[in-house]
Amino acid sequence: MNCEWITEHICDMLGGLLTPEEHDAVQAHLNVCPECSFFVSELRQDMLLLQGLGDVPVPVDLKLRIAEALAKPKPQKNPWRFFLPRFAPVAAAVLISILSINTIPGYMASREQLTKETQIDGAPRLQMAAPDQRGADPEVEGTGNCTVTDTINAGAKLGAATEELMTMSLAADKTEPSLWVVSSAAGSTVLLLWGAVVYRWYKKV
Amino acid sequence: MLSAYDDGELISKCKQGDTDAFGQLVDKYQQRVYNITFRMTNNHEDALDLAQESFLRVYRALASFKGESAFSTWIFRIASNVCLDKLRQKKRQPHIVLSMDSLMAGEEGDYPIEISAGEASNPEQHLLQGEMRREIRQALNAVSDEHRLVLVLRDIEGYSYEEIADMVGANIGTIKSRLNRARLALREVLTVREPLTSSARLREQKGG
Ligand SMILES: [Zn+2]
């Protein structure tokens, strides 16, 4: 038993958590060590003072303030509230896609009539167009986590690609694009551009 | 004031949206919650804010209370966390000096001093007692937040080591050693500040 041990076991000592042997050893040390004896008595008195602090009078407004806070409607942190009004243009973009699907068949049909003269079956054309579709889709997905400029650039790029695709289809019978490539590319372009606008808006708010 | 229902009944009523039942829980626990928030901040303005915040968090989290620990322990754990969060937040804003007003103000702000019976029977002792209490409160305010919390929970409020371990989210061994260091830190503050007061005067008072 030494002074250090006493310092390290104040909690157990003051809490009466020592074993009888430890207790006796501490007592023996305190009897011969005035520093520790004084120190322990001071700590005991600190504890008594802390215990004596007792209850703090509770302000009467506490319950009132809690009741008022509970009565108030919670501030809604609803992300839909922000995005809902902005869905209208998105819906428009989807509509454009659908419309393009519905309008292009007329154009396609007319082209098909022209091409039927040189080609018997339409199937090879669709197969040829398929790689284009695969090429376009990763680009659309890849822009998901990009910055605004990236998004705009990608959107513009996609727009240019779509245009190119359409010119190509007009220029050469063999590279006529699939219906889905044209319509989905047009729709995605509008969607992406609008996404960029909303994102910028969101950053500003 | 005393509720006719036990905590479990009141809690299930609260979960059904009964704010009166919650009012009864507030009645039951506000004293002990306020003791914690006041002792942690040492001023009534912050203590009131934090007590309110604690009860609102309790209300919002009631659905997640599954009864693994006693409801009282759960409330005091929330109150302790609210206090520590706020104190950390205040430290990050150094221009706000916590409870400066209370250091200037008298004992327990504007509230009258309570003296336990038999301890201070004459005006002199009354003054001495008040001074020592102010001193210990200031010393309490000078130790770290974690140390103050265990001192408040153990020495002032008298919760068991098990309860404190549950409230603080540490094991009993950690609580004991933290309390040990907290008591030493408090003693050091008192020794540095007023080497002649507190224990010396208390001894004098008790002897006389
Ligand atoms: Zn010693």
Distance from CA of B133 to the nearest CA of A (A): 7
Q: What gap in Å lies between CA A191 and CA A180, rounded to an integer?
A: 16
Give the residue, B94 or B126, on which the prediction is more confident.
Answer: B126
Tell which of A49, A60, A61, A70 to mutate to test the B interface (max B CBs under 10 Å): A49
CB contact under 8 A, A51 and B39: no
Structure tokens, A4: 């250090």
CA distance B175 to B166: 10
Residue in B with minimal Cα distance to A10: B180
Return the DSSP state at B152.
Answer: I
Residues 103-162 of A with CB under 8 A from B: none
CA–centroid distance, B184 to ligand 1, in Å, is 15
CA within 13 Å, CB half, A22: 11
Residue B47 contacts A where some CB pair is shorter than 8 Å: yes
> Both tokens of residue A132?
């284009």
Residues 6 or more apart whose Cβ sits within 8 Å of residue A1: A25, A26, A28, A29
Of residues A84 and B117, the one with the higher pLDDT is A84
Burial class (CB in 10 A: 0-12, 13-18, 19+), A137: middle
- Cβ proximity of B83 and B37 under 8 Å: yes
CA dihedral A29, A34, A39, A42 (to 10 degrees): 120
d(CA A64, CA B84): 24
- Residues with Cβ < 8 Å from A160, sequence gap 6 or more? none
Report DSSP state, residue A177.
Answer: P
**Most B-contacting residue of A7, A13, A50 (CB-CB within 10 A), to test interface:** A50
So what's the pLDDT on residue A20? 92
Nearest to A71 by CA among B103, B19, B154, B70: B19
Q: Is the dihedral of CA B35, B39, B44, B45 positive or negative?
A: negative
- The type of residue at B60 is R
For residue range A127-143, what is the model confidence (pLDDT) as tens digits? Answer: 444 444 444 444 444 44
Is residue B174 scored above 70 in pLDDT? Answer: yes
Q: Given the structure tokens 């376009």, which residue do they identify?
A: A136
Residue A33 confidence (pLDDT): 94
> Is A11–B179 a contact, with Cβ atoms under 8 angstroms apart?
yes
Q: Which pLDDT score is estimated for B106?
A: 43
Scan for tokens 């019976």, then name that residue: B117
Alpha helices, DSSP H, located in chain A? 3-8, 10-14, 20-32, 34-53, 61-71, 79-83, 87-116, 123-142, 148-171, 179-204
Q: What is the pLDDT along chain A (205 residues), one digit of tens a residue?
A: 789 998 888 878 888 889 999 999 999 999 999 999 999 999 999 999 999 998 999 999 999 999 999 887 766 666 666 666 666 767 777 777 777 666 665 666 666 666 655 555 544 444 444 444 444 444 444 444 445 555 556 656 666 666 666 666 555 555 556 777 777 788 888 888 888 887 777 666 5
CB contact under 8 A, A56 and B111: yes
Q: Which is nearest to B127 in space by CA: B110, A54, B35, B135?
A: B135
Confirm whether pTM is higher than 0.80.
no
Higher pLDDT, A10 or B73: B73
Residue A62 has φ and ψ, to the nearest 5°, of -55, -50
* pLDDT value at B107 more than 60: no
Closest-CA residue of A relative to B59 is A70
ipTM: 0.79
pLDDT at position B37 over 80: yes
Report DSSP letters for B160-184, one per residue: -HHHHHHHHTS-HHHHHHHHHHHHH
* Highest mean pLDDT: which range of A4-13, B14-23, B82-91, B141-150: B141-150
Can you tell me the mean pLDDT for B135-154?
Answer: 95
Nearest CB among A41, A67, A71 relative to B199 is that of A41
In order of A12, A44, B176, B188, the CA distances from A8 in angstroms are 9, 15, 10, 15
B119 to chain A: which residues are within 8 Å by CB?
52
CA angle B154-A5-A12, nearest 5°?
25
Query: Across the interface, do B39 and A43 touch by the CB < 8 Å criterion?
Result: no
Quote the CA–CA distance of A42 and A35 in Å, as a whole number: 11
Cα(A168)–Cα(A173) distance, integer angstroms: 9
> In 10 A of CB B162, how many CB atoms?
12
Q: Backbone phi, then psi, for A186, in 5-degree steps?
A: -65, -45
Q: How far is CA A35 from the centre of its chain?
A: 60
Alpha-carbon gap: A10 to the closest alpha carbon of chain B (Å): 6
Q: What is the largest CA-CA distance in chain B?
A: 59
Structure tokens at A81: 């509230």
Asked if residue B79 lies in contact with residue B172, where contact means CB atoms within 8 angstroms, the answer is no
